[in-house]
Chains A and B, each alone.
Chain A
């Protein structure tokens, strides 16, 4: 089983739609979690960290379920500019940083 798995995608949604991505991780000792977005042929950029209590940033909501080892990202009122690959990232190091990237889920928002 891979350390971090994501919905395979791609997701093709119309503008204004709500879309949710799921991610599971295998290392129960993982401490920190992130969603990054990566545009084609570009570097990943941090979208948001994921906290135990869940967190929201504008149209984006991230949830963490430690018991199920599951992370989600919800995008509301999707925009054309949201089209990208969304990477679930898990830090498997308790004391430092060892980021494990999921394979990514590609989102295309259509006009």
Chain B
């Protein structure tokens, strides 16, 4: 299957700082990338969907000014958590899809564990 990488795999930061997470599709071009968040013992919650070269579409309740998403190329999307607070501590996972077809598989990155002190 296709490979998606994320960097960093974990990060610990102080409250108020910004954290950038990178998501890369390594061996295919991802027309669509997705950002999810997963709190302990809960399922994945979609935060936003991004298509290369256009603005991300955010899910209801997700602040676009706090979670900045950039999808500048077909292989790279970034999520920046601005002014992070302890409640933002979570497991952030990206996924990528080679096309927008509704039956196309999403390939998930290994996730980034964010801890905000």
A75-98 residues with Cβ-Cβ distance < 8 A to B are: 87, 91, 93-98
Are A97 and B32 neighbours in the complex by a CB distance under 8 Å?
yes
The closest CB in chain B to the CB of A87 belongs to B43
Are A102 and B103 neighbours in the complex by a CB distance under 8 Å?
no
A-binding residues in B (CB < 8 A):
1, 32, 34, 36, 42-46, 49, 91, 93, 97, 100-106, 108-111, 113
- Whole-angstrom CA separation of A34 from B102 in the bound complex: 11
**Given the contacts A42-B111, A44-B108, A97-B34, A31 and B42 also touching, CB distance less than 8 Å:** no
Are A95 and B110 neighbours in the complex by a CB distance under 8 Å?
no
Are A32 and B102 neighbours in the complex by a CB distance under 8 Å?
yes
B-binding residues in A (CB < 8 A):
31-32, 34, 41-46, 49, 87, 91, 93-104
- Total inter-chain residue pairs, C-beta < 8 Å: 59
- Whole-angstrom CA separation of A34 from B106 in the bound complex: 10
Are B111 and A43 neighbours in the complex by a CB distance under 8 Å?
yes
Q: How far is the CB of B58 from chain A (nearest CB, A)?
A: 12
Are A98 and B93 neighbours in the complex by a CB distance under 8 Å?
no
Instruction: Specify the main secondary structure of chain A where it touches its partner.
Output: loop
Most buried by B among A94, A96, A97, A101: A97
Are B102 and A94 neighbours in the complex by a CB distance under 8 Å?
yes
Q: Which of A43, A44, A93 contacts B102, CB < 8 Å?
A: A93
The closest CB in chain B to the CB of A45 belongs to B108
Are B102 and A91 neighbours in the complex by a CB distance under 8 Å?
yes
Are B104 and A97 neighbours in the complex by a CB distance under 8 Å?
yes
Contacts of B46 in A (CB 8 A): 98-100
Contacts of B32 in A (CB 8 A): 96-97
- Whole-angstrom CA separation of A103 from B38 in the bound complex: 11
Contacts of A103 in B (CB 8 A): 42-43
- Whole-angstrom CA separation of A43 from B52 in the bound complex: 23
Are B110 and A97 neighbours in the complex by a CB distance under 8 Å?
no
Contacts of B100 in A (CB 8 A): 95-97
